[in-house]
Every structure is written in structure tokens, then in C-alpha cells.
Amino acid sequence: MRGLRASAVVLSLTITTFLAASPSAPAAAGAPPEPEVTSLVTISVPDTATLEKVVATGADLTERVRPQPDGSIQVDAVLSEGQLAALAPLGVEKAGAPAAQETPKTPKAAAADQIVIERAVWFRTRDGYFLSVEATSSAGPTATLSAAWRGRGGASGTVPMVPYTDAGAYLGHQLSTPAPVADRPSWVTVTSAGGGTAQARVKEWPDGERPDRTIPGYRKDFITQYMPPGQLNERVKALHRQFPRLTDVIALPYLTNGYRRHAQAQFGAVVVTSLAYGSEGGNDLAMELVDPGAQGRPLQVTVNGKLITVSLATDASGAITSTAAQVIAAVNAGAGSLVKATPYRTDNGQGVVAPAPLTQLSDFLKAPADVSREPARVLALRIGAHRDGSRTGVLAYAQEHAREWVTPLVTIETAERLLRNYARDPATRRLLQRTDIFIVPTVNPDGANYSFYDYNFQRKNMTNHCPAAQADPAARNSWGVDVNRNYAVGSLFDGYVGASANCLSGTYAGPGEHSEPESRNVIWLARTYRNIKFAMNVHSYGGYFMWPPGAYQAAGRVTLPRPTKAQEAYFLRSARTIEEAIAAERGTVTWPQQTGPVTDVLYSAAGNSADELWYDFGIFGWDFEVGNDIWNPATRTWEGVGFQPPFEEGHKEALEYASGLIAMIGLAADYRAP
Ligand SMILES: [Zn+2]
């Protein structure tokens, strides 16, 4: 609650408790309870107000949000069929074919409206020329605007524009997506059906300074595969061994909870959870529910070493009479030093339980034995010729979200390039002379292991804060805290939008600010190394480049304070320099619509790290969303790349965004505090 404290509004939004809504029955006795199957789907949301409601449900949205010509919004999300159905009452459905470009009909305004062209840019990608135009009308979102462009070679065309509103606030009109055009556009005229018109020259995007030039023979491309946390740590240590004069390894102080879970088994409406972690003996336990095969027997629990036997009660006819509630009480009384028994979800415990064969408890973790089950140490690699706090510090940290496999590769590729080119490339030498770089390839190693070995869509860390009613084994893919909602500025607890209090939600904020070691480690770096002035929070996917504010309050969409005009200009100018470096690799362009404050270009993300770095530490806190859409000329649509694209694509993303990160280090090298 430090920093910008807002009124402590408790969000009164309806939280859809997905699991409670799920109709799935308890697992059959003996069968391992399986989580609902989820998939990456593109959903269509009717409007921005509804999108805000969807965010408030805590649904597991990705970071790819695309406004459509009809005012609807398409968002990629990780959902089960049941979760998708739970969103249907809001008007959410699976996106079909892209809506036809249709100009909305609106009544003509009496007097001509005033049009201001905020931005008109062209850019060239590997797929050709694209035009992007943003303009505002004094008539607001109901105005009907179109953009007519003229190319250098004489070609021309007209593209409809769509209003863009966020939480009811009109932000202007834009092309629904940057439009592919036949020629390099030079002039654009925006015309309103209300009579207003404006003209502007179309500039090249991004139009920043060229990134630092490197010599021929500059070495790059040090990534050969996706890397789980163990390999990332090995690479960090290997780089330090090879470049001891240019690096330090910093062991961050807060150990994670570890890639580990308590062992569980489910017997109808009875859930049994080991007190010890699975890896510390819980997995060795086994339990059976036995029909005594005799009349008038009492309910009895016996423990023999690691074996728990529940002999069920029978009546005078020999029929079993023990209810789930009775079994739970008996197990807790008779085997309470080994396990805790609880009812399944909202079950009332009144049903009679069935006998069940001997069932081994399991933590259900599938990583090979050489993946440590102990609390994990998070490592930072500090790089620089003068690591004494006298140089401008740059922090690059990745994989707050476990499933974003490309993001650690961006940081490793960056570290490799800086170190292996230091001796040969003057531009690199200059960077290491003038800056002090802190690289954290994986903030969330436990979640990352879970994503690699158990559930590839894992977003959060692995710490289960759920009460027993939400902690049955089939819920295990939904546990954990969204590390990037666990910070202390503009948080859920301060009344900001875009994090959930539901422990099963994709955006669960945790039981309190900084409750998680993963977030405390990031802030520890900022607090300990006060020379850090720049930070890049590396995420995927969607192709964004963003900065604060990253959150607003529910009431009135009051954002965290906007940067000053001068700061905003610096953010934007720097963004263009960095985007230029990214584009230099293979023509990947970060669209202007996806360059800006988080709240403007994505959605509100309460309690994210970049906001805390900026507002509490004065660090220029940026977010990358690596993995730009790919243009499909056959369908004439942009397609998202996903969290774990084929390595061939992930590899290219790592290379281009490493160039972006190095461009940011270049900005830091030139930075002079005002
Ligand atoms: Zn992310």
C-alpha cells in the first residue's frame, strides 16, 4: 500500500468462480482427478465495457487484444469449454471469421466536426507497406471517419476508421488494423461524414535514431532451443565463469516456494492431502477404503507405516453407512499426523462413500528427477566494466509469466552478445563502460518448470493459496499467484482494475502485496541498486511496447498519474529507437497502436511491476510483449504467434528483441539525469 494509495475500494464486481460453475463430478474412486482441458482461443467481446468486465472475472487473457471494425474486440485467452460458457452471458463468444469492413451508419452532425490527425505513419514489414492513422473528431465516437491516402508512386485508396474507446472514454479513431497498401503512402486526408476534414503528411514509423552501429563480424545468435530454468541458471553461471571481470552473479535473497506440491488423492467426495510435500514423503503414502464384509462394523482408521486403511461402517444388513463427513472426521482423527482430509469443493459430506482400492497419493508433478523440488534461488547476471553503482543501471527481467518461453531467451541472447562482442566491437565496449546491467532470465522458475513439464499454459507461480474447497487435485492447474499482479502500486488492494481476488483466477493478485518471493526479488534489485534507471519487463506475446500508467481504478477510469509531457515524449522517442532496432532484424514492426501506456494500448493490469518501478523508484519501466502478429496474405488477417511458437519462430523473436534490449541499453548509456 505504499506509494500511490487510492481509496481502498473493494471491487464489487461479480467474480465468476470458474470451478464452482463447472459441472464436473468428483473423480471416480481410484482414478486420478484430471484438470479441465484448456486451450488458447480467440474470443470476441462486444465492446470495451464488456472487456473490462471480462478482465474483472479474472479470466486468463493473453496480452493480445485487437479492436475490430464493428467496435468489438478480439482477445486471445486460455480457457476451458466450461470457462468459455461461463463468459457467454456477457456476450463473449469464440471469434469466427474477421468481421467485414463495414462503415457504421451515424446521423450527420449539424455543424462540421473538427478533425485532428494525431498520428499518420507508414511502415514497411517483410510483408509490404502498411498505413496507420489515428485521428480524433470533436463529435466523439459516433463520428464516421475515413482515411484517404495517396502514395509516392501515384497509387491511392480509402480505408474506414473505427472509434476506439476504453472504459467509456473516447480515445480517437484509428484503422482497425494497419492496412496493407500498394505503395508507400505520402499524404493522408481524414474525412468525417459530419463534414470535418484534415490532412497530414505520412511519416515513417518508427522514426527514431538508428541504434548503435556494430562492426562487421559482430557476433550473435547464441540460442539453440527453449530453455527451462535449470538451463538458464547454468548459462548464467557459465557466462560468469568465462567473463569474471565483466560479470557478477547475484543470488536474489528470496527463495521461491519450489517446484513441489503436497500429495493428494480423491475418494469420491473425500479429498486427502499429505502434510509433507510429495517429494518429502507425501508421494509414498497410500490409502484404501475397505468394505469390512461383515454386519454392524464401526468406522475405523488404521495406519501401518505409509498405508492408511479406512474400514467403513456397516449396518445390520452389512450395507456401508459411512458418509463422506464421517470418513473425513475419522481420517483426520486417526491419520492426522500424515494427511488432512477435506470435502470435495461444495459437497455437503452427507453421501455414503464407496469402497476404493489402495490408492497412492501423488503430487502429480511430472518433471524428471533432476529438476529440483527444493525452493529455488533466482539469479541475476550483472554485466558491466564498472559494477560499482557509478554507471546508469539497466534491469531486464523476464518470465514473470511462466508460459512465456521466448522471454528468457531474449535476455540470454542479450547477455551473450554484450559479453562476446566486448573485446571486438567498440559500440558494445562503450555500452559496458557506461552502463551497469542486471539481467534476470527467469523471475518465476517454479511456474516455468510447471509450464515445461506439467501444464504448458501455466501463467502464475506454483504457490497454492486456495482454501480446501478449491484445492482438490483437479484444480491444480489453476493455483498460483500472477507475479505481475502482486506488486504494491496501483494494486487490487488499492482498488485498481485488472487483478483478481479469486485464488483460481489467471490474474490472482495473491493474499497481499508482495506476498510472493518472485515479486520481492524484483523490488529488492530496485531498492538495492539505486543506480538502476531503466527497466524492461519482458513478456509475450502480441507485439507491444508499453510504459506506465498500467492501471486505473474501477470508478471513473482514474489512472495512476500520467507521466509529464516531457517524460511521455522521452518514453515515445525511446520506444521508437528501440522499435527501430527490433525492425532492423527481420522487418518486424511494432504497430503505433501498440506503442504507448499500458492502460491505453492493452488493458488495466493492477499491481504490475513496471508501475512500481516507475512510481516508487523513478525507473523508466517498460514492458515488451515480444512475438508480433504474422500477416497471413491468404486470409488477409494478422495472426497471433502464441506463447510457445515453433522454435524457429521463437528463435527469431529472441534475436530481434535482444536487439531491442541492447538499444535500450544504448539509451541508458546516453542518459543524463535531468
Ligand atoms: Zn506476460
Name the strand (E) or helix (H) holding 45: strand 38-45
Question: What is the side-by-side strand order in the sheet with 145-151?
Answer: 156-160, 145-151, 185-192, 197-201
Q: What is the mean pLDDT of residues 475-502?
A: 97
Taking the centre of ligand 1 as the mean of its atom positions, its distance from the CA of residue 63, in whole angstroms, is 7
Taking the centre of ligand 1 as the mean of its atom positions, its distance from the CA of residue 28, in whole angstroms, is 36
Taking the centre of ligand 1 as the mean of its atom positions, its distance from the CA of residue 404, in whole angstroms, is 7
Taking the centre of ligand 1 as the mean of its atom positions, its distance from the CA of residue 539, in whole angstroms, is 4
Taking the centre of ligand 1 as the mean of its atom positions, its distance from the CA of residue 234, in whole angstroms, is 24
From the list 177, 205, 169, 173, the residue with the least C-alpha distance to 191 is 173
Residue predicted with more confidence, 632 or 148: 148
Question: What is the DSSP secondary structure assignment for residue 314, as one 8-state letter?
Answer: B
pLDDT of residue 336: 98
Residue recorded with cell 505513419: 121
pLDDT for 2 beyond 70: no
pLDDT in tens, 400-438: 999 999 999 999 999 999 999 999 999 999 999 999 999
Taking the centre of ligand 1 as the mean of its atom positions, its distance from the CA of residue 646, in whole angstroms, is 18
Taking the centre of ligand 1 as the mean of its atom positions, its distance from the CA of residue 61, in whole angstroms, is 10
For the chain, percent of residues with pLDDT exceeding 70: 91
pLDDT of residue 207: 63
Taking the centre of ligand 1 as the mean of its atom positions, its distance from the CA of residue 333, in whole angstroms, is 44
φ and ψ at residue 39, rounded to 5 degrees: -145, 165
Taking the centre of ligand 1 as the mean of its atom positions, its distance from the CA of residue 452, in whole angstroms, is 16
Cell of 523: 523490488
For the chain, percent of residues with pLDDT exceeding 90: 72
Ranking 249-253, 368-372, 498-502, 602-606 by mean pLDDT, the lowest is 602-606
pLDDT for 464 beyond 70: yes
From the list 21, 55, 36, the residue with the least C-alpha distance to 506 is 55
pLDDT of residue 213: 66
Name 583's Cβ contacts closer than 8 Å, sequence gap at least 6: 123, 125, 206, 589, 590, 656
From the list 445, 442, 550, 411, the residue with the least C-alpha distance to 494 is 550
Taking the centre of ligand 1 as the mean of its atom positions, its distance from the CA of residue 402, in whole angstroms, is 8
φ and ψ at residue 589, rounded to 5 degrees: -110, 130
Coarse DSSP helix, strand, coil percentages of the chain, rounded to the nearest 5 percent: 25, 30, 45
Residue predicted with more confidence, 641 or 586: 641
Taking the centre of ligand 1 as the mean of its atom positions, its distance from the CA of residue 626, in whole angstroms, is 10
Do 494 and 485 contact (CB within 8 A), yes or no? Answer: no
Q: What is the mean pLDDT of residues 298-302?
A: 98
Q: What is the mean pLDDT of residues 166-189?
A: 82
Helix ranges (DSSP H) in 335-389: none
- In the beta sheet, which residues pair with residue 493? none
Q: What is the mean pLDDT of residues 283-301?
A: 98
pLDDT for 215 beyond 90: no
pLDDT for 167 beyond 80: no
Q: What is the mean pLDDT of residues 451-472?
A: 97
Summary mean pLDDT of the chain? 90
Taking the centre of ligand 1 as the mean of its atom positions, its distance from the CA of residue 235, in whole angstroms, is 23
Radius of gyration of the CA atoms of the chain, in A: 28
Helix, strand, or coil (residue 131): strand
Taking the centre of ligand 1 as the mean of its atom positions, its distance from the CA of residue 370, in whole angstroms, is 27
Q: How far apart are the first and last CA of the chain?
A: 29
Taking the centre of ligand 1 as the mean of its atom positions, its distance from the CA of residue 337, in whole angstroms, is 40
pLDDT of residue 527: 98
Taking the centre of ligand 1 as the mean of its atom positions, its distance from the CA of residue 460, in whole angstroms, is 10
Q: How many other C-beta atoms lie within 10 A of the C-beta of residue 319?
A: 11
**Strands, E assignment, 245-313:** 247-251, 262-267, 270-277, 286-290, 300-304, 307-311
Taking the centre of ligand 1 as the mean of its atom positions, its distance from the CA of residue 443, in whole angstroms, is 12
Count of residues for the chain? 674
Q: What is the mean pLDDT of residues 628-641?
A: 87
Taking the centre of ligand 1 as the mean of its atom positions, its distance from the CA of residue 280, in whole angstroms, is 32
Ranking 160-174, 198-212, 345-359, 577-591 by mean pLDDT, the lowest is 198-212
Residue predicted with more confidence, 338 or 214: 338
Taking the centre of ligand 1 as the mean of its atom positions, its distance from the CA of residue 397, in whole angstroms, is 11
CA contacts within 13 A on the Cβ side of 342:
16
b/e string for 613-638 if b means 16 or more Cβ within 10 A? bbbbbebbbbbbbbbbbbbeeeeeeb
Question: What is the DSSP secondary structure assignment for residue 303, as one 8-state letter?
Answer: E
Q: Which of 136-150, 165-179, 260-274, 553-567 has the highest mean pLDDT?
A: 260-274
pLDDT of residue 212: 61
pLDDT for 524 beyond 70: yes
pLDDT of residue 163: 87
pLDDT in tens, 10-69: 333 333 334 433 334 444 555 667 898 999 999 999 988 898 889 888 899 998 888 877
pLDDT in tens, 534-551: 999 999 999 999 999 999
Ranking 105-114, 368-377, 518-527, 613-622 by mean pLDDT, the lowest is 105-114
Give the pLDDT band of residue 111 (cuts 50, 70, 90): confident
Q: What is the mean pLDDT of residues 648-673?
A: 94
pLDDT of residue 68: 79
Work out the burial of residue 294: count CB atoms within 10 Å of its CB; fewer than 13 is exposed, 13-18 middle, 19 or more buried: exposed
pLDDT of residue 634: 87
pLDDT for 97 beyond 70: no
Residue predicted with more confidence, 216 or 5: 216
Taking the centre of ligand 1 as the mean of its atom positions, its distance from the CA of residue 77, in whole angstroms, is 12
Cell of 464: 497454492
pLDDT of residue 109: 43
Do 531 and 389 contact (CB within 8 A), yes or no? Answer: yes
Do 398 and 440 contact (CB within 8 A), yes or no? Answer: yes
pLDDT for 6 beyond 50: no
pLDDT in tens, 113-133: 999 998 888 887 777 888 889
Taking the centre of ligand 1 as the mean of its atom positions, its distance from the CA of residue 148, in whole angstroms, is 37
Ranking 105-119, 216-230, 325-339, 637-651 by mean pLDDT, the lowest is 105-119
pLDDT of residue 537: 97
Q: How many other C-beta atoms lie within 10 A of the C-beta of residue 660?
A: 29
Taking the centre of ligand 1 as the mean of its atom positions, its distance from the CA of residue 486, in whole angstroms, is 13
Angle in degrees, 0-180, between the axes of helices 406-421 and 229-242, rounded to the nearest 10? 10
Taking the centre of ligand 1 as the mean of its atom positions, its distance from the CA of residue 227, in whole angstroms, is 17
Do 308 and 338 contact (CB within 8 A), yes or no? Answer: yes
Taking the centre of ligand 1 as the mean of its atom positions, its distance from the CA of residue 613, in whole angstroms, is 17
Residues with CB under 5 A from ligand 1 (ion): 401, 539
b/e string for 207-239 if b means 16 or more Cβ within 10 A? ebbebbebeeeeebebbeebbbbbebbebbeeb
